[in-house]
C-alpha cells in the first residue's frame, strides 16, 4: 500500500501527469536537453536485465531497481556527455542542424519532445511492471484499488498519445528540404525514435480499450524493438523486388504523420539514369550491386567478402528507421506539403511515380501506337499484352478481356463496344520479334529519355498513312511527318493494323502526336 | 347505292373496323372507290408480298403504324435506299392509281414518321447499311422484329441500336449477334421493354448482364437456348419490372440461379423453364415462394421428379393458371396436391410417368376450370379418365391425347357429349379411334384443329361426319390415314371452307379427283401431299388453279406429276412463296423445273430440289434464285 501511494505521489509530482498541459510541452522541456540517449540506453539495458532475470518470484527485488531507474531521468537533469555514443551522435546532430539551418523547424526541440515521450513511456512501463509484480501474489486486493490503477494508466496513456500527435503535427509541415538518404544516419535515428514512440503509442492506444492495461504496457518496448527490423527488411525486400505497384501499395498503410522520416529527392536526382557511381572511374550504375561487381575490376581490395557484401545490412539492426519519400512536384498528393500527403515508400517508388505522373510519356507502344508510357518497364509490360487487347470501346479504350470491357461499358453512360473490322492478324508475330530487338537496342544504348522501341511504330504510321489517304477521318498534318526523320526504316515489317481504317483512326492521331514529340530524334539518331 | 352513299365516313369506318379477316377487307376494298378510301385511311397495318408495290402502298396508307415485310422475299439495301429517297425514283413505281387518292404535294416519306412497328423477320437480304437507314429514317419506331435473319450479326445489331425509342426488339435466331451486338442495343435503346434473344447462340452472361444493367424497364425477356448461367439470373433478378421470362433450354442454369429469381423480379408473372436440365423441384419451390402472383409456370422436360412439396407450393399461388410439367415423374398423391390449385386453366402432363386414371380423376376433381390439357404419351390412361375429365371440365377447349392407345370411341362420345367447346383435339396415333367415334365427336361444333394422323381405322365416312358438322375446322392432319380417299376430300371441300392447313401425305388412295375437290378450298395455305402416287399433273393443275393462296407445298415423291402440272403450278400459284419441296419427282423434266422456278422466283423463298438437278438446272436460274434471296436445299 505504501508502495502504491509512493507511486501515485511521484506521478502526481511529474508534470506529464496533467493531460491539460500537454501542449506547452516544448516550453517545459528545455531545447538544450539533448542527452536522453544514455538514459534510453540504460533503460534498454535494464529491460534486458529484467527479462533475463530468472527470479520472477522475488517481486521486491524486481521492483526496487526499476524504481531507482524510474527516478533517475527526472532527477539527474545534467546530461552525461561522457558516453561516446552520445558524443558521436551529438556531432552528427550538429551536422543535421547545419543542414537544416534554413528550415523553420527545430530538430533539437523535436528530439527533446521525442526523448521526453520515450521517457514517459518507460516510466509508465515500469509502473505497470510494478502493478503486475504486486498483483500476482496478493490476490485479495480490493477492487477499487485495481480500478484506480487502471484509471491512472489510462490517463497516462492518453496524455502520451496526445503529446505524440501534437509532436507529429508540428513536425509534418516543417519537413521540406531534401536530405539524401545515404547521408543522414542521425535523422534515421530520429525517425527510429519516432517509430518506437509511434509503435508503442499505438500499442497502448489499442490496448487501452481492453481491460488489462498492464499487458499492453509491458509489451511496448518489445514490440517496438521487434517491429522495426522487420519493417526495415520489408523495405529492403521491396527495393530488391522492384515492385511496380509501389505507388498504390502504401495507400492502406496508415502511418501517422511524424512517425517516419520524410526525404525528398530533387527532380534531377530522380531523373538521373544512374544513382551509383564508381569512385575511381566515374561510371554510373543503376544498382549498387552492379557497382560492387564493377568495383572488383579496380583491385583486389574490392574483392573481399566485406566489400562485396550489402553495405547497409549491419547498420540495419541499430538504425531502424521508417523512411518515406516525398515527391518534389509541388501540389502533388505525394508532395509533403499536400494537405492529404501520402508518402512514397521507396526511392524506386519515387522514381516511378515522378516519371509516371510528372513526366512526358515518351515511350509509345510500337504495336498499337496509342499507348504511351514514361516508365520503360510499363511499356514492356504493356507490350507483352498488346495486340491481345481486342476488346475495344467506342471511347477508344482497349481491353484484353471481354468482361473488363463490359464492366467499363456498364460503368460509363453512352459507351458501347466498338465492332472491330476484320483485321489482318498475320503480321503480329513478326512485329513482336521486331519489337524485342529494338527494345534491346534501346536498353543498351540509352538508359533514359527518348528511346527506340517506338521505331517500329514510326514505320506503322507511315504504312497507315499510305493506306488511309482517302479516309477523311484520319487527317494528318504532313508537316509532322517531314519534321521527323524516317530514313532507314523501310526494312521494317508492315503494321498489324494496316487495313483497319475507320476503327483505328484515333490511333493514328495519337501516333502522329508521338512523332512530333520525339520520333525523329530517337529513331534516326540511335538506331544506326 | 344511294343508301350506301348516305352513310357518313365515320360510320363506314366503324363498319370497316368490324371486319375480322384479311379476305373480308379485301372484298371491302373492291366494292367502290369510297370504300377503298376508307380502307386506305383506316388501315394501320400492312403486310406486303411484293416489294415492287411497297412505295405506292406506303404513300396510300397514311395511318400505317405497322409494316410487315416478313413475306417480302427480297428486301435488300437497294430496295431500302429507293424506298427512302425523298424524290421519285428513277425506276418509278406505278403511281397512277395512287395519284388520284393522295395529294400530289405530300411528303413521300411521311410514312416513316407514323411507323411504330416494323417486321423484318426473315429479311435475309437486308444488310446493316440498309437496316440502319430504315431505323434512322423511322424515328418513332418502337418495335422491330428481325427474327430468323440468320445472317445478322453485331453490325446489324449496331444498326438496330440507332433506334433510341425502341421498346421491343425481337431478334430470334440472329445467329451472328454476340454480346457486343447486344451491348450496342442495350446502350443505344435504353427504353427497351421486350427483348427476345431466342437462339442467339453467341450471347452469354456478359451481354445479358449489361442488358439488365442498362435496360431496367424490361418487362419481357426471352433467353431461350442461350448459354447463360446463374450469373445471368443474378442480373435478371435485379430487374424491377420484369413480368415474363423465358429460359427454354438453358441447360447451364440450376437451382442456385433460380434462387436469385425467387428473391428478385417482384412483378414476375410468367416463367418458362422448359428443357432446363439443370433445375429441380427445389429451384422451382424457391421461385414459387418468391412470387405469389405467378400466372404461368412452364417446367416441361426439366424435372425428372415432381415432388409433392412443389405441387403443394403451387396451392399458394392464387393466380396460377397454367402449369406444365411434361416429362416429370408424378405420383398420385402429387395429383392430389395439384388438384388444390383451383385457378388452373392449363395443365401440361405430356410424357409424365405415373399419370394414371386415378391420378387424373383426382386432378380434375379439383381443377374444374381446365381448358387446356396435354396428355401426350400418357399411355396408361383409358376411357375412364377421359370420362372424368370431360365430366368435370366442361370448358375444355384443347385436349391432346397423342399416342394414348387405350382410348376408344367411348372417349370421343364423352367429349362429344360434355365438352362442346372443344376446339383442338389431337388424336395422333390413337389406334382405338374409328368412324363411330368421329361421329360422336362431330357434336363439338367449335372444333377447328383435328389431328388424326396415324389412325388407319378411320375412313371417308367418319371424316364425312366431321366435315358436315364442324364447319370451323381450319386444320386437319391425315398423315398416313390409309383409309382416307377422295370422298373424304369431297366432304371436306364442301363442309370446311375455312380449311387452311391439310396434311395428306401417304394417303395413297387420293387421286386427281380428290385434288380437284381440294381446288375448291380457296383458303388453303399449306398442303403436304407427299408420296401421292395417284396424283398426276391434272390433279396438280386443278389444285393450283383453285387454291390461289397456296403458299407452302410439299410434293415429295409425287412421282406421277409431270411437266403439265408444274406449268399450271407456275402459272396459277402466285402466292406460292415460302417453301416448296420439289424432290423425287421423276417425271418432271428439267425444263419443267426451270419453268416453274422462273415464274415463281420473284416470290419463292426456299426450295428443296433433288441434288441431281444441281448440274442440270441452268446456271442463270440458280443464280437468279440466289440473288433474289431464295434458299435452295439440295436433297
User: pLDDT at position A44, please?
Assistant: 44
Query: Are the beta carbons of B328 and B311 closer than 8 angstroms?
Result: no
Mean pLDDT over B572-582 rounds to: 61
- CA-CA-CA-CA dihedral for A213, A218, A223, A226, to nearest 10: -170
User: pLDDT at position A201, please?
Assistant: 39
User: pLDDT at position A419, please?
Assistant: 82
Among candidate residues A70, A57, A216, the one with its CA nearest the CA of residue A134: A57
User: Counting beta carbons within 10 angstroms of the beta carbon of residue A282, is it exposed (0 to 12), middle (13 to 18) or buried (19 or more)?
Assistant: exposed
Identify all chain B residues contacting A406, using CB atoms and an 8 Å cutoff.
Answer: 179, 183, 206-207, 209-210
pTM equals 0.60
Distance from CA of A474 to the nearest CA of B (A): 22
User: pLDDT at position A225, please?
Assistant: 41
B83-141 tens-digit pLDDT: 888 655 444 444 444 444 444 456 778 888 889 999 998 888 888 999 999 999 999 99
Question: CATH 1.20.1280.50: does it fit domain B4-42?
Answer: yes
Q: Is the pLDDT of residue B170 over 90?
A: yes
Cα–Cα–Cα angle for B574, B576, B582, rounded to 5 degrees: 130
Q: Measured on CA atoms in the order B344, B347, B353, B354, is the torsion positive or negative?
A: positive
Does residue A39 or residue B407 have the better pLDDT?
B407
Which pairs with CB-CB distance under 8 Å and at least 24 residues apart come from A375-382? Answer: A376/A442, A376/A443, A376/A451, A377/A242, A377/A244, A378/A244, A379/A453, A380/A439, A381/A244
Residue B512 C-alpha cell reads as 386427281
Measured CA to CA, the distance from residue A443 to residue B553 in angstroms comes to 75
Q: Measured on CA atoms in the order A151, A156, A162, A168, is the torsion positive or negative?
A: negative
Scanning the structure block, which residue is given the C-alpha cell 501520402? A342
Among left, alpha and beta (phi > 0; psi -120 to 50; other), residue B115 is beta
The answer to whether residue A454 sits within a structural domain is no
Q: Do A406 and B206 touch (CB under 8 A)?
A: yes
A425-472 tens-digit pLDDT: 333 333 333 333 333 333 333 333 333 343 333 344 344 333 333 434
Distance from CA of B252 to the nearest CA of A (A): 19
The chain-wide mean pLDDT, for chain A, equals 58
User: Counting beta carbons within 10 angstroms of the beta carbon of residue A489, is it exposed (0 to 12), middle (13 to 18) or buried (19 or more)?
Assistant: middle
B430-457 tens-digit pLDDT: 988 999 999 999 999 999 999 999 998 9
Mean pLDDT over B202-223 rounds to: 94
Residue B583 C-alpha cell reads as 424432290
Measured CA to CA, the distance from residue B303 to residue A73 in angstroms comes to 84
Q: Is the pLDDT of residue A520 over 60?
A: no
Among candidate residues B405, B407, B441, the one with its CA nearest the CA of residue B425: B441
Q: Which residues of A touch B (CB under 8 A)?
A: 402-403, 406, 409-410, 414-417, 419
Distance from CA of B257 to the nearest CA of A (A): 20
Domain that holds residue A279: 260-309+321-360
B445-495 tens-digit pLDDT: 999 999 999 998 999 999 999 999 999 999 999 999 999 999 999 999 999
The answer to whether residue A449 sits within a structural domain is no
Distance from CA of A391 to the nearest CA of B (A): 9
Closest partner residue to A415 (CB to CB) among B154, B158, B187 is B187
The answer to whether residue A355 sits within a structural domain is yes
Mean pLDDT over A374-400 rounds to: 83
Identify all chain B residues contacting A410, using CB atoms and an 8 Å cutoff.
Answer: 209-210, 213-214
The answer to whether residue A283 sits within a structural domain is yes
The chain-wide mean pLDDT, for chain B, equals 86
Percent of chain A with pLDDT over 90: 1
Task: Kindly list the domain boundaries of chain B, sorted by start residue.
Answer: 4-42
ipTM of the complex: 0.80
Q: Which among A417, A418, A421 is the top mutation candidate for probing chain B, defined by the most B β-carbons within 10 Å of its own β-carbon?
A: A417
Q: Which among B183, B184, B207, B212 is the top mutation candidate for probing chain A, defined by the most A β-carbons within 10 Å of its own β-carbon?
A: B183
Q: Which among B156, B210, B227 is the top mutation candidate for probing chain A, defined by the most A β-carbons within 10 Å of its own β-carbon?
A: B210
- Number of domains chain A is built from: 1
The answer to whether residue A326 sits within a structural domain is yes
SS3 track for A313-351: HHHHHHCCCCEEEECCCCCCCCCCCCCCCCCECCHHHHH
User: pLDDT at position A400, please?
Assistant: 80
A-B interface: how many C-beta pairs under 8 angstroms? Answer: 34
Q: Measured on CA atoms in the order B53, B55, B56, B61, is the torsion positive or negative?
A: positive
Does residue A400 or residue B485 have the better pLDDT?
B485
Q: Do A410 and B161 touch (CB under 8 A)?
A: no
Query: Are the beta carbons of B426 and B399 closer than 8 angstroms?
Result: yes
Amino acid at each position: 500500500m505504501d508502495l502504491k501511494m509512493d507511486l501515485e505521489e511521484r506521478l502526481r509530482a511529474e508534470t506529464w501527469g496533467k493531460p491539460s498541459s500537454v501542449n506547452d510541452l516544448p516550453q517545459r522541456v528545455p531545447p538544450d536537453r539533448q542527452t536522453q540517449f544514455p538514459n534510453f540506453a540504460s533503460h534498454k539495458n535494464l529491460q534486458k536485465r529484467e527479462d533475463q532475470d530468472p527470479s520472477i518470484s522475488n517481486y521486491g527485488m524486481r521492483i526496487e531497481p526499476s524504481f531507482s531507474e524510474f527516478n533517475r531521468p527526472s532527477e539527474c537533469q545534467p546530461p552525461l556527455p561522457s558516453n561516446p555514443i552520445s558524443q558521436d551522435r551529438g556531432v552528427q546532430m550538429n551536422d543535421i542542424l547545419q543542414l537544416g539551418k534554413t528550415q523553420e523547424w527545430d530538430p533539437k526541440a523535436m528530439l527533446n519532445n521525442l526523448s521526453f515521450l520515450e521517457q514517459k513511456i518507460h516510466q509508465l512501463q515500469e509502473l505497470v511492471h510494478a502493478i503486475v509484480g504486486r498483483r500476482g501474489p496478493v490476490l485479495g486486493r480490493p477492487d477499487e484499488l485495481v480500478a484506480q490503477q487502471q484509471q491512472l494508466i489510462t490517463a497516462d496513456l492518453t496524455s502520451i498519445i496526445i503529446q505524440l500527435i501534437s509532436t507529429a503535427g508540428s513536425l509534418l509541415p516543417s519537413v521540406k528540404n531534401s536530405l539524401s538518404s545515404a547521408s543522414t544516419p542521425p535523422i534515421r535515428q530520429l525517425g527510429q525514435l519516432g517509430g518506437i514512440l509511434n509503435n508503442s503509442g499505438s500499442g497502448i492506444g489499442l490496448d487501452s480499450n481492453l481491460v488489462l492495461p498492464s499487458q499492453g504496457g509491458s509489451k511496448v518496448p518489445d514490440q517496438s524493438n521487434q517491429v522495426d527490423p522487420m519493417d526495415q527488411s520489408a523495405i529492403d525486400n521491396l527495393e530488391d523486388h522492384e515492385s511496380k505497384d509501389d505507388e498504390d501499395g502504401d495507400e492502406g498503410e496508415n502511418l501517422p504523420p511524424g512517425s517516419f522520416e520524410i526525404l525528398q529527392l530533387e527532380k534531377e536526382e530522380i531523373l538521373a539514369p544512374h544513382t551509383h557511381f564508381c569512385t575511381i572511374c566515374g561510371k554510373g550504375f543503376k544498382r549498387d550491386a552492379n557497382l560492387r561487381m564493377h568495383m572488383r575490376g579496380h583491385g583486389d581490395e574490392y574483392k573481399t567478402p566485406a566489400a562485396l557484401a550489402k553495405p547497409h545490412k549491419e547498420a540495419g539492426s541499430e538504425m531502424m528507421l521508417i523512411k518515406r519519400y516525398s515527391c518534389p512536384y509541388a501540389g502533388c498528393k505525394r508532395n509533403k506539403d499536400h494537405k492529404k500527403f501520402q508518402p512514397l515508400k521507396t526511392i524506386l517508388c519515387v522514381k516511378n511515380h515522378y516519371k509516371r505522373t510528372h513526366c512526358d510519356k515518351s515511350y509509345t507502344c510500337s504495336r498499337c501506337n496509342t499507348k504511351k508510357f514514361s516508365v520503360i518497364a510499363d511499356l514492356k509490360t504493356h507490350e507483352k499484352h498488346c495486340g491481345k487487347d481486342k476488346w475495344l470501346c467506342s471511347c477508344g479504350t482497349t481491353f484484353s478481356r471481354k468482361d473488363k470491357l463490359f464492366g467499363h461499358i456498364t460503368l460509363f453512360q453512352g459507351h458501347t463496344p466498338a465492332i472491330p473490322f476484320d483485321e489482318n492478324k498475320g503480321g503480329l508475330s513478326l512485329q513482336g520479334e521486331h519489337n524485342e530487338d529494338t527494345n534491346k537496342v534501346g536498353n543498351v544504348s540509352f538508359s533514359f529519355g527518348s528511346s527506340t522501341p517506338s521505331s517500329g511504330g514510326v514505320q506503322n504510321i507511315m504504312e497507315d498513312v499510305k493506306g488511309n489517304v482517302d479516309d477523311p477521318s484520319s487527317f494528318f498534318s504532313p508537316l509532322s511527318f517531314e519534321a521527323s526523320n524516317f530514313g532507314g526504316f523501310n526494312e521494317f515489317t508492315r503494321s498489324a493494323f494496316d487495313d483497319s481504317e475507320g476503327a483505328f483512326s484515333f490511333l493514328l492521331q495519337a501516333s502522329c502526336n508521338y512523332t512530333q514529340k520525339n520520333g525523329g530524334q530517337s529513331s534516326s539518331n540511335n538506331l544506326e | 347505292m344511294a343508301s350506301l352513299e348516305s352513310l357518313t365516313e365515320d360510320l363506314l369506318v366503324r363498319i370497316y373496323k368490324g371486319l375480322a379477316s384479311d379476305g373480308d377487307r379485301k372484298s371491302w376494298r373492291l366494292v367502290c372507290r369510297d370504300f377503298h378510301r376508307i380502307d386506305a385511311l383506316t388501315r394501320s397495318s400492312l403486310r406486303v408480298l411484293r416489294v415492287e408495290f411497297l412505295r405506292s402502298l406506303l404513300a396510300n396508307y397514311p395511318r400505317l403504324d405497322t409494316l410487315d415485310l416478313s413475306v417480302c422475299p427480297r428486301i435488300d439495301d437497294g430496295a431500302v435506299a429507293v424506298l427512302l429517297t425523298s424524290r421519285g425514283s428513277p425506276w418509278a413505281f406505278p403511281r397512277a392509281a395512287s395519284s388520284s387518292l393522295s395529294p400530289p404535294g405530300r411528303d413521300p416519306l411521311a410514312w416513316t414518321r407514323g411507323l411504330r412497328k416494323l417486321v423484318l423477320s426473315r429479311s435475309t437480304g437486308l444488310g446493316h447499311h440498309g437496316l440502319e437507314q430504315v431505323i434512322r429514317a423511322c424515328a418513332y419506331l418502337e418495335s422491330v422484329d428481325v427474327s430468323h435473319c440468320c445472317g445478322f450479326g453485331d453490325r446489324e445489331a449496331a444498326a438496330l441500336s440507332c433506334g433510341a425509342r425502341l421498346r421491343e426488339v425481337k431478334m430470334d435466331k440472329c445467329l451472328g449477334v454476340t454480346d457486343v451486338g447486344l451491348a450496342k442495343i442495350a446502350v443505344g435503346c435504353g427504353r427497351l421493354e421486350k427483348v427476345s434473344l431466342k437462339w442467339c447462340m453467341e450471347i452469354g452472361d456478359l451481354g445479358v448482364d449489361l442488358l439488365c444493367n442498362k435496360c431496367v424497364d424490361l418487362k419481357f425477356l426471352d433467353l431461350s437456348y442461350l448459354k447463360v448461367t446463374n450469373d445471368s439470373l443474378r442480373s435478371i433478378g435485379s430487374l424491377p419490372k420484369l413480368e415474363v421470362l423465358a429460359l427454354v433450354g438453358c441447360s447451364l442454369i440450376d437451382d442456385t440461379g433460380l434462387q436469385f429469381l425467387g428473391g428478385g423480379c417482384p412483378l414476375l408473372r410468367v416463367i418458362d423453364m422448359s428443357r432446363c436440365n439443370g433445375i429441380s423441384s427445389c429451384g422451382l419451390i424457391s421461385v414459387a415462394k418468391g412470387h405469389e402472383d405467378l400466372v404461368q409456370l412452364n417446367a416441361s422436360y426439366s424435372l425428372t421428379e415432381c415432388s409433392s412439396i412443389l405441387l403443394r407450393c403451387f396451392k399458394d399461388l392464387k393466380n396460377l393458371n397454367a402449369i406444365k410439367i411434361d416429362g416429370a415423374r408424378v405420383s398420385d398423391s402429387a395429383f392430389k396436391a395439384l388438384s388444390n390449385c383451383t385457378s388452373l386453366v392449363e395443365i401440361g402432363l405430356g410424357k409424365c410417368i405415373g399419370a394414371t386414371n386415378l391420378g387424373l380423376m383426382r386432378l380434375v376433381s379439383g381443377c374444374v376450370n381446365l381448358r387446356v390439357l396435354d396428355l401426350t404419351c400418357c399411355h396408361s390412361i383409358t376411357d375412364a379418365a377421359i370420362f372424368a375429365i370431360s365430366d368435370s371440365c366442361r370448358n375444355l377447349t384443347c385436349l391432346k391425347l397423342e399416342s394414348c392407345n387405350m382410348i376408344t370411341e367411348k372417349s370421343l362420345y364423352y367429349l362429344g357429349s360434355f365438352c362442346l367447346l372443344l376446339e383442338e383435339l389431337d388424336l395422333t396415333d390413337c389406334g382405338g379411334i374409328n368412324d363411330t367415334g368421329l361421329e360422336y365427336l362431330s357434336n363439338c361444333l367449335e372444333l377447328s384443329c383435328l389431328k388424326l394422323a396415324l389412325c388407319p381405322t378411320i375412313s371417308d365416312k367418319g371424316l364425312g361426319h366431321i366435315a358436315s358438322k364442324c364447319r370451323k375446322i381450319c386444320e386437319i392432319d391425315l398423315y398416313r390415314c390409309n383409309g382416307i380417299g377422295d370422298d373424304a376430300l369431297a366432304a371436306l371441300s364442301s363442309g370446311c371452307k375455312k380449311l387452311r392447313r391439310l396434311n395428306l401425305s401417304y394417303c395413297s388412295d387420293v387421286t386427281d379427283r380428290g385434288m380437284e375437290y381440294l381446288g375448291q378450298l380457296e383458303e388453303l395455305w399449306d398442303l403436304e401431299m407427299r408420296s401421292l402416287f395417284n396424283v398426276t399433273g391434272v390433279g396438280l393443275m386443278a389444285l393450283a388453279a383453285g387454291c390461289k393462296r397456296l403458299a407452302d407445298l410439299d410434293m415429295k415423291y409425287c412421282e406421277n406429276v409431270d411437266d403439265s402440272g408444274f406449268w399450271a403450278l407456275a402459272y396459277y400459284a402466285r402466292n406460292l412463296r415460302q417453301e416448296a419441296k420439289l424432290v423425287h419427282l421423276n417425271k418432271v423434266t428439267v425444263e419443267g423445273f426451270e419453268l416453274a422456278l422462273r415464274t415463281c422466283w420473284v416470290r419463292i423463298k426456299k426450295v428443296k430440289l433433288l441434288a441431281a438437278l444441281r448440274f442440270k438446272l441452268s446456271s442463270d436460274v440458280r443464280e437468279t434464285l440466289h440473288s433474289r434471296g431464295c434458299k435452295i436445299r439440295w436433297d
